[in-house]
Amino acid sequence: MVEKSDQTSLWPSLYDPFRSFGARLADWLNPATEASGGKDAYAINMELPGVTEDDIDLTVEDGVVTIRGEKKTKREEQGDTWYFSERQYGAFRRSFRLPQDADPAGISAAMKDGVLKITVPKMPDEAKSSARRIDIARD
């Protein structure tokens, strides 16, 4: 008979390889992305070959930019023998928290050569400062 304490110590070790499998699978299916920042704006570039603009939903809410979409496939397998396929199809979703100095109202996006380019302008210096002087009324 196995004591209860032995059972609890056995199960976590068996479960460990599968613990983060879902997150690793999601990372593998997500499109390759790079983010950078310049003097006046931030840029997010996402590789989306074979995805049309109509299949992409780009939103910004509460300081988070979210890109959702789907890479669709139309396969005709008329007698073809497939030895391997490394092409990926299906839905994807990526979210990015914007820095505090980003201006969500000015976000723009363009698609060219299978790359989605999102530009997030930075706020002007005077808008960044949340500190202000408050006058004190005299009685």
Q: What is the pLDDT of residue 108?
A: 95
The one-character DSSP state at 68 is E
Sheet holding 33-37, edge to edge: 33-37, 41-47, 115-121, 108-112
In the chain, the percentage of residues whose pLDDT exceeds 70 is 64
Most confident of 5-14, 27-36, 61-70, 88-97: 61-70
Q: What is the pLDDT of residue 139?
A: 74
Rounded to 5°, angle at Cα 40 from 37 and 41? 45
Q: The tokens of 48 are what?
A: 């989306």
> What phi and psi values does residue 36 have, to the nearest 5 degrees?
-145, 165
User: Do 45 and 119 contact (CB within 8 A), yes or no?
Assistant: no
For the ranges 12-21, 48-57, 93-102, the lowest mean pLDDT is seen at: 12-21
Extended beta strands in the chain, E state:
33-37, 41-47, 56-61, 64-71, 90-97, 108-112, 115-121
| Distances in whole angstroms, Cα of residue 36 to Cα of each of 68, 78, 106 | 20, 45, 17
Q: The tokens of 101 are what?
A: 């100095």
Q: How confident is the model at residue 25 (pLDDT cuts 50, 70, 90)?
A: very low
Q: How confident is the model at residue 17 (pLDDT cuts 50, 70, 90)?
A: low
pTM above 0.75, yes or no: no
Does the pLDDT at position 111 exceed 90? yes
Q: Between 94 and 71, whose confidence is greater? A: 94
**Was domain 32-74+89-126 assigned CATH 1.10.3720.10?**
no
